[in-house]
Amino acid sequence: MTMHGEEKKENRIFFILLGMFAVVCVLRYYDHFIVSVNTTVFAFSYELGFISRGLPGTALRVLNSLLPYDFMSYDGIGLVSKAVTFLFFVILFWFYAVCLKKCTERMYKEARYLILFLSIFTFPMFLSAENFGRLDVYLLSIVILSCILVLYEKWEWLIVPLSVVAMLIHPGYVFMDINLLLVLLLYKVLSVPREKRKKYIVLLAVTFLVVSVLFLYFEFFSHPQDTEIYEEIVATAKSLSDNGQNYHDHLINHDILGQNVFWDEWDWHIVNFIEFPIFLILFSPYIYLIGRFYWNLIKKEQERTRRFAYIFIVMGAGTLLPEMVLKTDYGRYMFALIFYYIACVLILLALGDEGATMRVKELTGFLRNNMTLSIFLIMYAFLFVPFRDFHISDVLEEFYDMIIIYLPYRAL
């Protein structure tokens, strides 16, 4: 695992370049704007009871009372969002560094390409108006941090409180992010020696139990359903918005009044129905490559328990299915999907998994033989970023605009 001077130097140059790339992405994609869904959420707080997504608003109020700055404002949310996004970049780079440091020397080149590919999607994701300051950035930071702890095998007990914090920030953690951590813990359970196994079983069980309980509570028992509280939240949300008027009614209706907003979001579902199949077609080169990798990973594995772990990794993204059926932000879900599958490969390489190492080598061999694919693999991805919210990306929105005019249904 020791790094030779040459590789160490290459990795250092790689990180400098990646840092430059991140800076240029910030300059290029940062929209200087927070949409109402990301300001409204700060109107929620535990002053109104133990409600869903109450932690960010409560933390903002604490900051407001402690520091001589008006955090309970649009600018205050902007400042916090900037700080959190910066922190996210730091954690992401830390994760990359850990993965690169832990993987075997012969996999450095492949790992670097994977990191670059993942970064093309990840760097711009939380900079656009739609996603800047979105609670996803908090959740992703937490899950990445948890994975780093597991990879380091230090302070792993911290993943339980971290998961609790994530659930208090947004119960959607159960669907969009925790899968990465759970499959990692499961992989550990199935691959570590017997004496260490117990620790990971306990961690897996406790984490799963805690998030499940919190999720059930927030989903079924945390809605105050009080019109006075509703009015108060609307007033606060308006005061936090960019123009003093905007607020996100679906969010309040769902989280405070406990209403089912499925039909309210029907127009956006239509967007999803049109864009998603096109996305699958346009993204098929990547789907093919990722599918090919995981298919071979499972198929060629001789050891039964490890194969079982790989199957769980592939199925792990299934946690996104309820979101995809009931909710509308396919841009976020597609990003979560891409992040999950690429991060899993990186983690497997960092864990020195022999099967993953061989399959990645096979895949790079395949790409080397398909020159065209290898040239466009990175370039092509640029056309899709940044991923938005209910529109997956600008390319897909263009297709949607072209198609919707021929449909009898008039959506957004």
Q: Residue 352 — left, alpha, or beta (φ > 0 → left; ψ -120 to 50 → alpha)?
A: left
> Is 170 within 8 Å of 217 (Cβ atoms)?
no
User: Is 85 an interacting residue with respect to other proteins (CB under 8 A)?
Assistant: no
Q: Which of 375, 403, 407, 412 binds other proteins (CB under 8 A)?
A: 375
Q: Does position 398 bind other proteins by CB under 8 A? A: yes
Which one of residues 156, 232, 249, 394 is an interface residue with other proteins (CB under 8 A)?
394
**Residue number, 242 or 394, with CB nearest to other proteins:** 394
Task: Please state the closest distance from residue 68 (CB atom) to other proteins, in A.
Answer: 23
Q: Which two tokens stand for residue 372?
A: 């065209």
- Specify the stretch interacting with other proteins by CB under 8 A; choose among 112-120, 208-216, 293-301, 314-322: 112-120
CA 66-71-75 angle, 5° bins: 155
State the DSSP code for 73.
S
The binder of other proteins chosen from 305, 376, 403, 409 (CB under 8 A): 376
Please give the residues from 297 up to 356 whose contact with other proteins meets the rule CB under 8 A: none
**Residue 353 has which token pair?**
């998994």
The interface region with other proteins, picked from 174-182, 234-242, 368-376, 403-411 by CB under 8 A, is 368-376
Q: Is 243 in the site for other proteins (CB under 8 A)?
A: no
What is the SS3 assignment for 322?
Answer: helix
Of 11-19, 141-149, 203-211, 220-228: span binding other proteins (CB under 8 A): 11-19
DSSP readout, 198-214?
A: HHHHHHHHHHHHHHHHH
Closest listed residue to residue 358, CA positions, set 106, 186, 184: 106
Which 3 state secondary structure label does DSSP give 397? helix
Count of residues in contact with other proteins, rule CB under 8 A:
36
Tell me the C-alpha distance between 42 and 39, whole Å: 6
Q: What are the φ and ψ backbone dihedral angles of 58, each rounded to 5 degrees?
A: -65, -45
Q: What is the DSSP string of 374-393?
A: HHHHHHHHHTTPSP-SSS--
Give residues 21-80 in contact with other proteins (rule: CB under 8 A): 21, 24-32
The least CB distance from residue 27 to other proteins, in Å, is: 5
Give the Cα separation of 153 and 2 in Å (integer): 18
CA distances from 318 to 176, 302, 323, 336 (A): 10, 25, 10, 11
Q: Which of 90, 105, 106, 109 binds other proteins (CB under 8 A)?
A: 109
**In the complex, least distance from residue 52 CB atom to other proteins, rounded to whole angstroms:** 34
Contact segment (CB under 8 A) with other proteins among 38-46, 139-147, 321-329, 370-378 equals: 370-378
Span from 16-24, 205-213, 293-301, 332-340 in contact with other proteins (CB under 8 A)? 16-24
Cβ closer to other proteins: 17 or 209?
17
Q: Is 207 in the site for other proteins (CB under 8 A)?
A: no
Q: 157 vs 22, 55, 154, 207, CA distance in Å?
A: 31, 21, 8, 10
Residue 395 interacting with other proteins (CB under 8 A): yes
Residue ranges that bind other proteins, judged by CB under 8 A: 10-11, 13-14, 17, 21, 24-32, 109, 112-113, 116, 282, 371-380, 382-383, 394-395, 398-399
